[in-house]
Amino acid sequence: MVQMWLLVCLLTLSSVALMTAVGGDVCVAGHDSGPVFEEQPSSLIYPEGLTEGKVTLSCQARANPAAAYRWLVNGTAVPLNLDRYSLVAGTLVISSPDPIRDTGSYQCLAINRCGTIISRAANLKFGYLHDFPPDGRSPQTITEGQGTFLACQPPPHYPALSYRWFLNEFPNFIRKDDGRWFVSQVTGNLYLAKAEPNDTANYFCFTTINMEVSTKSTFSKANQLTVVPDANPRKSAPTIKVRFLADTYALAGHTTQLECFAYGNPVPKVRWRKVDGLMPSKAGPTVEGPTLTLPELSFDDEGIYECEAYNSEGRDTYQGRINVQAQPEWLQVMTDSEVEISSDLQWSCVAAGKPRPSVRWLRNGQPLSTQDRVEVNGVHLRIINLALEDSGMYQCVAENKHGTIYSTAELRVQVQAPDFRLNPVRKLIPAARGGQVMIDCRPRAAPKPSLFWSRGTELLTNSTVTPDGILWIYNISRADEGKYTCFAENYLGKANSTGHLSVRDATKITLAPSNADINQGENVTLQCHASHDAAMDLTFTWSLNGVLLDLENSAGPYHRKENTGDLLIVRAQLSQAGTYVCTAQTVVDSAAASAKLVVRGPPGPPGGLLVKNVAETSVELRWSRGYDNHSPIGKYVIMGRSPLSSEWRKMRTDPVNIEGNAESARVTGLIPWTDYEFQVIASNILGSGEPSMPSHIVRTLQAAPTVAPSGLGGGGGDRDELIVTWTPMAREYQNGDGFGYILGFRKKDTSSWTEVRVPRVESSRHVYYNSSLAAYTPFEVKIKAYNRKGEGPFSQVAVVHSAEEEPTVGPSSINATALSAFEIQVSWEPVQQLSTNGILRGYEIRYWRQHEREAAADRVRTAGLEPTARVSGLRPSTRYHVAVLAYNSAGTGPPSPRTAVTTRKPPPNRPPGSVSWKAHGSRVTVRWDQVTAMHNESAILGYKVSPGSKYDLLGLGYQSAGWSTLAA
């Protein structure tokens, strides 16, 4: 009774009430919530001069009670009392926007009694594009074959422009697919790689500015370009004139474009490569062309890029570095927190970005700095000894030169007397005899309350109560049953909660699982039985290496047998080896037993694969043994792949058969100057295992070419030319960089060879020019490849003829006959086969109407040497003149004498009338009225009868009278 009296006295101690009068609106815990932005304003470019329009900056926050809104421009309050500004919910609307008054950085503040938050900054800028100045532009004159550029000199504008050029009159724009021209989207200038006489024209720079609400364009005064013809334009190697900026800074996630363009004759081509790595696949087809486009940049795209301009006369290169930077991005942010009064708070906000973002802190929209109980240390905020006035809305702001991001959280400092209503002590607490039990006591209270326990009327000692109020009871017996009460008290008040402890029989494993050893793919059963308190339900669970197994998935490998805890494992895999634990569990206790399962199978992947001693056609591989999975490794196989074949294939090795105790081998039969990666696969009597991780990519050393180019041939071309063609060498036969071709040629039946070097791997032809070269002269030609390491073998000799001359004689005895109103047949006496100046390829028929000029004649060519041809698609009743010419690869010869022919009249234009039919068993008789031909139509020779839909199965004939009998 003395203990009970002490307890009652303790509970009746007077508590200190915190009921200080608080003025103003108060944020109510559990009911109110601070503002959180759902919409924030976005930066906008508005067209200058559009005075009748409106600018809308959105702002919407979720809050309870609903938020009120204010706006700042450049840190100063927006005067919402003026007619020019209006507030729709939280959205700011600016009427008749003015560049002088309204340009600036806008932020929205959302406010309620729980706190204030401030939005990201939205920049309002005004876009404009002035007209080009009226001054004329100086004319420019260049010689055919030269390169030049025309300056755009765009007028003042904002934001950036897009550029196009047109010539002579709008909209005759220069085509983007014309490789001679290039329009820089950086400067707007128009570049011409190689001028031609027909480029003489007036050129206009056409600029366009795109804004969210409008588009505007304007064009320059004429840039007059005159190209002076040159009978023999000089050839020239490429000279790069448009260069992308070195050390270009690009933004991650965005698209960047690099420009590169060169002058030269022939017109240079441009290609790109990444000097310090592989070209990103995202570049796609733009790796060939003057503009390299890299979408959705990542940090892997950083590096040195090179553009190479090349033609048959040489090459020019330029390099620059792309540095990828990034806007801030949150890695760690704060979250809403409810913290008891007088405790400490620690928040962290961590952001990634390049350059590294700085972090600052706001409370209720105002900057927060180190003072009194507040410590601001970069990404960390710490407030000690929290007070009620620390409650509110907090924001951390990460920013670098590419952007600013905000994170928001609400802090509530709690003050509350102990309260068990949300988290009472469990009413019924079952426990197993001989076991232990933990009874929680977690009332809501702030500041933290004092906690103590009683059993019935007996106050329990602290030896069984932890500092945080948890009651532990060990080695439980029937005598421990009864009521247990937790008492909580702080200076605001006190409370208690009671639960009843019920003692049950313990659970025991009666049949434990046994260790097992199986091969991969076999089934196995692990047994598990248990005894338990009959008043409670018993469940079995299984875990593998500490991870609980899913026994409810009927399609999975694990199945539990009915009415027991036995586990069936179906078609066991290597990953299912390990320690299995069976747990028999009731609501009050559990018992467990374990067994080890060994699964034998193919070896695991070898590790630590390294490539050493790289040579021209071989490399050495070294690796470390992987798991043998309880069956000795018998042998290894090496797989490899290269850009020439994306599929993994077995490689030749030395030794040919790699024993299971080996940890190195040499790969042979590789192609020089080729990128390879390798894998190693181990196997044993149970099969082959998973391959190792691929090695790093290595490139074999360079070597001289070992094969000659194929497809050697040629011929054709202009007078005084010898054209030699071949098939460009594939990458796998190049064996090194600095690759090119050595072409040898000589007149047939002479002894001295002439050799020329063709320095481009893509080259497939060479033109040899000699003004004294006779037509259709036979040459012996041969070709070989070379690279930095040396020269390969010559190909077999082929015979190629120099360019042919046009035929010198024309056909004779030409005759033309009309076949119908639309077709004639032409025949002629063929010319003799050419021998000294070329090979006759066929004939060209020219035909033109009587009142047309011969220069406007239509032409038809035969594909062979037949001395007759049909010409169709003519007009009826029309007189045509016809001539025939022989042709070869050099062109056409002189025309034959002319002949004339008149096409026939057209067929009747009217159909037969009064068509009728009669059926007689399997026969049908059709009747119609005859048609009389007009004076301008050809005579009627007969009629054609076609079946209708009802007689699709009839075999029909026709005759020239008015009756026709159709037989089924």
pLDDT in tens, 424-469: 999 988 988 888 889 999 998 888 888 989 988 888 876 688 888 8
What pLDDT score was predicted for residue 6? Answer: 36
More confident residue, 724 or 561: 724
Looking at residue 161, its pLDDT comes to: 92
pLDDT value of residue 918? 85
Can you name the residues that pair with 927 across neighbouring β-strands?
A: 916, 963
pLDDT tens, position by position, 468-511: 888 998 988 888 899 999 999 988 899 999 999 989 888 999 99
Q: How many helices (H) and strands (E) in the chain?
A: 2, 85
Predicted confidence (pLDDT) per residue in 61-79, tens digit: 999 999 999 999 999 999 9
As a whole number of angstroms, the distance between CA 371 and CA 65 comes to 31
| Cβ atoms 107, 117 nearer than 8 A | no
Residues in the chain: 968
* Position with higher pLDDT, 954 vs 249: 249
Provide the phi-psi class of 676: left if phi over 0, else alpha when psi is between -120 and 50, else beta: beta
Distance CA 434, CA 471 (A): 17
Model confidence at 955: pLDDT above 70: no
- SS3 for 608? strand
362-370 average pLDDT score: 94
480 in helix, strand or coil?
helix
> What does the pLDDT look like over 278-305, one tens digit per residue?
888 899 888 999 999 999 999 999 999 9
Instruction: Tell whether the model's pLDDT for residue 224 goes beyond 80.
Output: yes
Q: What is the pLDDT confidence band of residue 954, given thresholds at 50, 70 and 90? A: very low
Beta bridge partners of 109: 70, 118
Q: How far apart are CA 770 and CA 767, in angstroms?
A: 10
547 class by beta-carbon count within 10 Å (0-12 exposed, 13-18 middle, 19+ buried): exposed
72-78-84-87 Cα dihedral, nearest 10 degrees: 70
CB 87 within 8 A of CB 69: yes
Instruction: Specify whether the CB–CB gap between 679 and 609 falls below 8 A.
Output: yes
pLDDT at 447: 84
Q: Which amino acid is at 650?
A: K
Say whether pLDDT at 697 is over 80.
Answer: yes
771 or 799: which leads in pLDDT? 799
- What are the φ/ψ torsions at residue 511 (nearest 5 degrees)? -140, 105
Average pLDDT over residues 255-274: 93
Mean pLDDT throughout 766-794? 92
Helix (H) or strand (E) holding 252: none
Give the model confidence (pLDDT) of 44-64 as tens digits: 999 988 767 899 999 999 999
Contact 222, 134 (CB under 8 A): no
Q: How far apart are CA 731 and CA 269, in angstroms?
A: 19
CA distance linking residue 73 with residue 59, whole number of Å: 14
Q: Contact at 8 Å (CB) between 336 and 410? A: yes
Confidence (pLDDT) at 566: 94
The whole-number pLDDT of residue 951 equals 43
Residue type, 868: T
Q: Band of the pLDDT at 634, cuts 50, 70, 90?
A: very high
Hey, what are 37's tokens?
A: 């932005």
- According to DSSP, residue 134 is labeled S
**Amino acid (one-letter) located at 536:** M
Split at pLDDT 50, 70, 90, the class of 952 is very low
- Say whether pLDDT at 622 is over 60: yes
3-state helix, strand, coil in the chain (%, to 5): 5, 50, 45
Cα–Cα–Cα angle for 253, 258, 262, rounded to 5 degrees: 170
512: nearest Cα among 524, 498, 532, 526: 526
- The confidence score (pLDDT) of residue 958 equals 35
Q: Are 395 and 429 in contact (CB under 8 A)?
A: no
pLDDT the model gives residue 457 = 84
Contact call for residues 219 and 204 (beta carbons, < 8 A): yes
DSSP E strand boundaries for 842-930: 842-849, 858-861, 868-871, 879-888, 891-895, 899-902, 913-920, 923-929
The pLDDT score that the predictor gives to residue 847 is 95
CA–CA separation, 282 vs 304, rounded Å? 16
If one counts every other C-beta atom within 10 angstroms of the C-beta of residue 87, the result is 15
Per the CB < 8 A criterion, the answer to whether 215 and 203 are in contact is no
For residues 686 and 520, the answer to whether their CB atoms sit within 8 Å is yes
- With cut-offs at 50, 70 and 90, classify the pLDDT of residue 23: very low
Angle subtended at Cα 665 by Cα 659 and Cα 667, rounded to the nearest 5 degrees = 125
Residue pair 161/154 in contact by the 8 Å Cβ criterion: yes
Mean pLDDT, all residues of the chain: 89
Q: Note whether 265 and 194 are within 8 A (CB).
A: yes
Rounded Cα–Cα distance for residues 160 and 147 (Å) = 27
User: Is the CB of residue 774 less than 8 Å from the CB of residue 745?
Assistant: no
pLDDT score recorded for residue 441: 92
Give the model's pLDDT for residue 3.
38
Q: What percent of the chain has pLDDT over 70?
A: 94
Return the biggest CA–CA distance within the chain.
147
What is the spatial distance between Cα 263 and Cα 147, in angstroms, rounded to a whole number? 5
Residue that the structure tokens 């601070």 belong to: 34
The residue to which tokens 């434990």 are assigned = 512
Residue range 821-856, pLDDT digits in tens: 899 999 999 987 666 678 888 999 999 998 888 888
Class of residue 858 by CB neighbours under 10 A (exposed 0-12, middle 13-18, buried 19+):
middle
**CA separation for the pair 680, 638 (Å, rounded):** 5
- For the segment 544-564, what is each residue's pLDDT rounded down to a tens digit? 999 999 988 888 899 988 778
Tokens 């900026």 belong to residue: 245
Cα(211)–Cα(781) distance, rounded to whole angstroms?
Answer: 62
Q: How many CA atoms lie within 13 A of 301 on its CB side?
A: 25
User: Residue 462's pLDDT is what?
Assistant: 64
Residue 684 has pLDDT above 50, yes or no: yes
How close are the terminal C-alpha atoms of the chain, in Å? Answer: 126
Three-state DSSP at 216 gives strand
Q: In what order do the strands lie in the sheet with 54-57?
A: 54-57, 91-95, 85-88
The strand order across the sheet containing 664-668 reads 607-612, 619-624, 664-668, 652-654
Q: Is there a contact between 843 and 850 (Cβ–Cβ < 8 Å)?
A: no
Q: Identify the pLDDT of residue 836.
A: 65
> Does the pLDDT of residue 262 top 90, yes or no?
yes
> 9 pLDDT exceeds 80?
no
Pairing mode, strands 403-414 and 337-340: parallel
Q: Which residues pair with 640 in a beta bridge?
A: 649, 678
> 301-349: per-residue pLDDT in tens?
999 999 999 998 889 999 999 999 999 999 999 999 999 888 999 999 9
| Alpha helices, DSSP H, located in 197-303 | none
SS3 label, residue 942: coil
Higher-confidence position of 950 and 646: 646
Q: What is d(CA 361, CA 398) in angstroms, rounded to the nearest whole number?
A: 9
Check: CB of residue 904 under 8 Å from CB of residue 818. Answer: yes
Coil, helix or strand at residue 211: coil
Which of 889, 894, 887, 891 shows the shortest CA–CA distance to 808?
Answer: 894
Per-residue model confidence (pLDDT) at position 445: 86
Beta bridge partners of 463: none
